[in-house]
Structure 1
Amino acid sequence: MVTIDVASVANEDELHRLLQRKFGFPDFYGRNWSAFWDAVSGLVFIPEHVRFTGWELLAERVPGEAMMLSDCLVRYRDLYRPGLRVEYL
């Protein structure tokens, strides 16, 4: 399991930098949602259980980015990892 605290994230770039660090994305990661999809669907292995803490604060500060992240992970689960468990606390 990986736990990612998103409570202090204030913008899209901060979120992508945090995701890059926590998921081990390569240095060339483009820090956008297309690059995120490319990374999770073919470059790195996402753990079976991902827990986001501080989700309500993220959704208040950058609601569009929170939605994009959630949507990408649902799509990833549906296409590649039916056993993936993601918590938004």
Structure 2
Amino acid sequence: MLTIDVSFVTSEDELHGLLKREFDFPYFYGRNWDAFWDAVTGLVRIPDQVRFVGWVSLLEHVPSGGESLRRQLDGYRDQYRPDLLVEYV
């Protein structure tokens, strides 16, 4: 299981930087939601289990980023990885 602490994130740019590091996205990752989709669907393999801790804090500081991340991962799971387990705690 990959655990990602998002409790300290205060901007969407910080969120993308954290996702780039934790998911080992390539150096050319564009730090936007289209680039995130491209990365998870064709450039890297997301672990079977991912846990985001500090989720409430993320939603307080970066609500659109948190919702976009959840939407992206839900879509990824629905289309490509029905076995993917993502927790938001």
Q: TM-score if structure 2 supplies the norm length?
A: 0.99
User: Moved runs in structure 1, 4+ residues, more than 6 A?
Assistant: none
The one-letter code sitting in structure 2 at the alignment partner of 1:78 is: D
Q: Which residue matches 1:36?
A: 36
Matches of 1:71 and 1:23 in 2, distance apart?
Answer: 17
Once the two structures are superposed, the pairs formed by residues 1-89 of structure 1 within 5 Å of their partners are: 1-89=1-89
Residue 38 of structure 1 and its aligned partner are, at CA, apart by: 0.2
Q: Distance in 1 between matches of 2:52 and 2:83?
A: 17
> Percent sequence identity over matched residues?
62
Q: Mind listing any 5+ residue stretches in structure 1 that lack a counterpart? A: none
Deviation at 1:86, TM superposition (A): 0.3
Q: Secondary structure of the equivalent of 1:52?
A: strand
Deviation at 1:85, TM superposition (A): 0.2
For the aligned residues, what is the CA RMSD? 0.3
The TM-score normalised by the length of structure 1 is 0.99
- The AA in structure 2 aligned to 1:14 is E
Q: Structure 1: which amino acid aligns with 2:32?
A: N
Which structure 2 residue ranges, 5 or more long, are not aligned? none
Question: Paired residues, what number?
Answer: 89
